[in-house]
Structure 1
């Protein structure tokens, strides 16, 4: 259902479909691009209706043909990025009981190899216990999930996605003889937690609409139809996920949306699998837990009683309800707690103060606190407590936009750190050739928007710039090291991250002021960031880049101020917001009402979403050069959002600037699978951005 003239882009047929909502008539001329059979398409892309597939193929052919001139530049960038990657590498071994576990990558192989060795031997004696590369050969698309050993380390369960639709299958094998069991559990979210006796594992099953909605148990050696259900969440506005306490004593079932959570637990030490309610869900109250075995207590990270940026409370393991909770770490204004963990002798807390991360260690014997932080102006920081509950060390991961990742072992008793591993850049990298800093733009309402900047020392004022943003779900974009973006920066571009409202870079309030009826703040912040970069003579022409909800940011910003951008890249963009949030059969819609509002029940929400939804606000105006990508089996942002948006833009926009749609027909939300394939995607995107600025030269050396 599309036509194409000689050397003209595809033109999608208009078949108006009408609906009524709150007294308004909605007309969608491209509704036909949404296959009613979309659930089956996630499992089998070949069942997509022919007319839809034909249109997608024509768009792909147009993009491939018109951008074929980028192939040499794309190849150069691909080789640059690959040259910065250590193709043959091993991860840091992690101790788990009598074994050390690690992964290894081999040159030319897309996936890692999983290996282990006994604690009384050496890494050289590591043996392969699973090879993702061998398994991937049977599939056109393959994404590894989780690999988890049974408590006695004799069995392995692992998950994989073979379509890109995020319906993961789980298999099991005996590590003593590498025999694969006949059991296979399908349609899971990819995670599993073993029972302490190793008789089986718990997992989350996805329903037909791709919602993780029920908790199940699988006994090893039985058929899938013998699995039994432990819990089913009836409220479609909530998702389920599972984990376990670090000491492995409790399974944790988290039931949550974007504003409210509830936890249920199973005491793994007991024979029965009774699921116990921790404390009943209450709208607007979030909490997560860890277990303190020595004190027979639970630690609770929560926002209860107006603790906007969270606090940590405690309760006896036999008195779970919130009425029994008492304060351990108080809520501190403008200091956001982002993570925590409990070891035998220490409690670890990760915080964000003024957008800068730090780690807090607390001695459980005397409650003395120690703060771990670094000196660079802007950086990223994370920790890994490992698998050993009794350990007195943690691993700290540090990087900045100029500094490749360094992994430290931090001794919590001695308060000293040693370097375990530095990210190697085989082709060479000198951090002193680059500048990273944080600047602040003023938004329309006066709020100060942090912007993280990366550029070469030699980069002049008024340079071409790539501005990246996300701004949803409270997700903060860390100013961490990326070897890929050096291919832009080494050609004289500035790379900037706008830490806009909707993220949590400046705390929970920052997030709340960029969601629901305040969502437009995200777009205003992004536009203000671009204008500030120009005003301060940092940037001349600006390209913008965002994916998923960041694609919404790109789409809305283009509708509002297309004149200030040179080009735009929107990857798997969430642009058909109104239609998606009106469709409660889609996987993410009911839980998303807490993020965007409910336009089905609330007219004000309907009106507000209508005012910014990119697809609904395409105007007769000039738009910059654009590249839009999507994945055919994407369950999060469905393929038709990007496809409909491009069709509408082609019909309405008034310019002749290039507009390209690239649909990956064997990929989902995360794009192509495999590390080399992912580099190819990045190289294509960066080649497009450079081409849009007329920058076709090789990178600066050194």
Structure 2
């Protein structure tokens, strides 16, 4: 195929606030046979246009796979009777959840099949243990598989697990008897992420999402009874709010959180009395967020620790009683740790004698461990051992633990798990993830800052091979996101060395709208300030001139990061050699007018409500579909989408691609649309090797567009 598909145009205009917006591809809003034929033709053109890259894709994929151990085992986490861990067998796309009885003879036997990494004294041999769940066995013919949850019951006799085989995030919830290995007859056909067990293991709480994919209800199921008899525990009528559900580590409380972008409310259910009503912890006040953690008290119901922005923009820690009855004055909060403006307090995790605080400081994620009776004290602070790395609390399920497991990650460093003594702060390394043939010392990671137009310094993590000089000759690939106060923490990526070894500089831009700089960083990049997300990304690219080859800069982002790519493409098309916009949110104004589209109403507090003229003007000023770049001088463009994506409807990238092509026919063959027309999710194919194959395609295209060919050029 030498020419791309030409989508049908129909006369249609939007008219809001006296402003007319032509939309000749409005017909794509419905999933019709015409749309599906268009998407299939787009995929065929992409496959044809990239046929010359097959060899490079195969080479890059082989390099990526070579850095993944044939078999691996995670650190264990302990419950009362068993230790649990996950493992991948040789060549498997999906893992297994496995458990061992405490004190079994195999507890301390080193794993001879584990390639790379140090010995974990708590890790069992690769082929021992009871397989609780073989994830790969759940796959069907769709080619896609994802788990929503896996939760072992408090008595450790049952497992709740949920599966999605389409990529649309509609999960089927099932229950397995771990004594027999057989699934129960109880099947919930539609559920969402999050769940919690009652203390007696007889009841299970789960969330349900509506047709707009908003989790809006919490239900309670009694094991062994018909699902039709399940009881609705809570419903959230306000379409701006979503419900999330979890069990406290103590096992005593089920916590339900209703949250919009800037307001929240938490309910508590007594896990020992699962049929009792959910009671609000602190009511709901516009602009106030709070999330709860339970601290056990042997003589009573305990207390709740709340991380809140109430009178504290970067959040403080307060406590309050557990609300057990309707007459309790549960809205009286007592401050136990004041706000530190230099730290963004993100969450707390409670253990029997200590509390672990997760925080952001200096644009990096850290942990602070404090005694439960001295929550305002300095405690022990844990920071990453790696440049621009991040330390997080790993999976720790035991409330009475004397030590916790943490994980330390960086872009070119496979994660290291360590045990930290809660009382002394002593750190003992436990396990390093294997990465065959990978040598982290071959790479240099630096944190740099570049001035935005308003003078704000925008941080960026710059990664390169040690032999690649920042002398203005190397090509570069930028990656950015910048929304929801989300922070894409550094993480080992077996794909990354394949571009670094070929002399490409990788730059992760930490633009406003994300959470790298705390709550204020998000506030400076949302609503009327959204334009700063785009100017920050451009500022980093401009600041790199002289350090990298300014004529060979590619940029990449996904979802809201895809919006970022669409905006900087429209605003500065000549800045880029190539752009990768994955599942991009690009038809901003039209989508935010459509309350029936998934996520729309819940995101009015992020982007704005276009029914209001001022907010309409904000979005119209940058919406990529409404602001196409001028013809001529455009960079090469790769766009992705997925038919079953519930977060960015496939019509958005489809309409944008069609409009871009029609507005510049000569350039149109350089615009490719890789669409998942079958099962597939928001973030691409599933499975550890399936996703690497996708990454190999994208990175091979980027390398080709940057003029980097052949094998690694740096050693």
TM-score tier (shorter): over 0.9
* 1:193-592 → structure 2 map (5 Å cutoff): 193-270=196-273, 272-294=275-297, 296-305=302-311, 307-318=312-323, 323-367=331-375, 368=377, 369-384=379-394, 386-426=396-436, 428-460=437-469, 461-462=471-472, 463-537=474-548, 540-592=551-603
The structure 1 segments of at least 4 consecutive aligned residues displaced by more than 6 Å after TM superposition are none
Equivalent residue pairs, number: 682
Match of 1:9 in 2: 4
1:665-692 per-position Cα deviation (integer Å, ceiling 9, x unaligned)? 2212121111111001100000000010
| Aligned partner of residue 19 in structure 1, secondary structure | strand
| Aligned partner of residue 332 in structure 1, secondary structure | coil
Match of 1:44 in 2: none
1:358-411 per-position Cα deviation (integer Å, ceiling 9, x unaligned)? 211111245551222245442121113611101021112112233221111111
User: Which of the residues 669, 673, 676 maps onto 1:661?
Assistant: 673
| Aligned partner of residue 460 in structure 2, secondary structure | strand
Larger mean CA deviation between 257-266 and 48-57 belongs to 48-57
Q: Quick one: structure 1 residues 603 and 366, their matched pair in 2 at CA, closer, same or farther if it must change by over 3 Å?
A: closer
| 8 Å Cα contact 1:385/1:393 also seen in 2 | no
Q: Quick one: structure 1 residues 318 and 548, their matched pair in 2 at CA, closer, same or farther if it must change by over 3 Å?
A: closer
Give yes or no for the alignment of 1:689 onto 2:694. Answer: no
2:671 and 2:566 map into 1 onto residues whose CA distance is 13
| Aligned partner of residue 581 in structure 1, secondary structure | helix
Larger mean CA deviation between 360-369 and 87-96 belongs to 360-369
TM-superposed CA distance for 1:248, in Å, is 1.0
Larger mean CA deviation between 612-621 and 651-660 belongs to 651-660
Gapped regions of structure 2 (runs ≥ 5): 108-123
1:179-214 per-position Cα deviation (integer Å, ceiling 9, x unaligned)? 222221022113221111222201011112221111
| 8 Å Cα contact 2:167/2:644 also seen in 1 | yes
Give yes or no for the alignment of 1:616 onto 2:626. Answer: yes
Give yes or no for the alignment of 1:188 onto 2:188. Answer: no
1:209 and 1:298 map into 2 onto residues whose CA distance is 32
| Aligned partner of residue 352 in structure 1, secondary structure | strand
| Aligned partner of residue 331 in structure 1, secondary structure | coil
Q: Quick one: structure 1 residues 464 and 509, their matched pair in 2 at CA, closer, same or farther if it must change by over 3 Å?
A: same
Q: Quick one: structure 1 residues 266 and 28, their matched pair in 2 at CA, closer, same or farther if it must change by over 3 Å?
A: same
1:375 and 1:700 map into 2 onto residues whose CA distance is 29
| Aligned partner of residue 593 in structure 1, secondary structure | helix
| Aligned partner of residue 151 in structure 2, secondary structure | strand
TM-superposed CA distance for 1:584, in Å, is 0.3
1:87 and 1:34 map into 2 onto residues whose CA distance is 44
TM-score normalized by the length of structure 2? 0.93
Q: Quick one: structure 1 residues 655 and 357, their matched pair in 2 at CA, closer, same or farther if it must change by over 3 Å?
A: same
Match of 2:641 in 1: 630
Larger mean CA deviation between 395-404 and 563-572 belongs to 395-404
| 8 Å Cα contact 2:586/2:625 also seen in 1 | yes
Larger mean CA deviation between 222-231 and 670-679 belongs to 222-231
Match of 2:112 in 1: none
1:267 and 1:255 map into 2 onto residues whose CA distance is 18
| 8 Å Cα contact 1:441/1:448 also seen in 2 | yes
TM-superposed CA distance for 1:245, in Å, is 1.1
1:200-253 per-position Cα deviation (integer Å, ceiling 9, x unaligned)? 201011112221111111122233322221111111111111011110111011
1:303-362 per-position Cα deviation (integer Å, ceiling 9, x unaligned)? 001x11111111233597675111111111121112211111101112211202221111
| 8 Å Cα contact 2:347/2:357 also seen in 1 | yes
1:387-444 per-position Cα deviation (integer Å, ceiling 9, x unaligned)? 1101021112112233221111111122211111112111x22222211101110001
TM-superposed CA distance for 1:255, in Å, is 0.4
Larger mean CA deviation between 639-648 and 480-489 belongs to 480-489
TM-score normalized by the length of structure 1? 0.94
Q: Quick one: structure 1 residues 537 and 77, their matched pair in 2 at CA, closer, same or farther if it must change by over 3 Å?
A: closer
TM-superposed CA distance for 1:508, in Å, is 0.8
TM-superposed CA distance for 1:151, in Å, is 1.6
Give yes or no for the alignment of 1:679 onto 2:692. Answer: yes
| 8 Å Cα contact 2:61/2:696 also seen in 1 | yes
2:62 and 2:453 map into 1 onto residues whose CA distance is 42
User: Which of the residues 20, 26, 30 maps onto 1:31?
Assistant: 26
1:183 and 1:392 map into 2 onto residues whose CA distance is 37
* 1:135-146 → structure 2 map (5 Å cutoff): 135-137=138-140, 139-146=142-149
1:376 and 1:689 map into 2 onto residues whose CA distance is 28
Match of 1:40 in 2: none
| 8 Å Cα contact 1:341/1:385 also seen in 2 | no
Q: Quick one: structure 1 residues 178 and 592, their matched pair in 2 at CA, closer, same or farther if it must change by over 3 Å?
A: same
| 8 Å Cα contact 1:169/1:190 also seen in 2 | no
Match of 1:67 in 2: 50
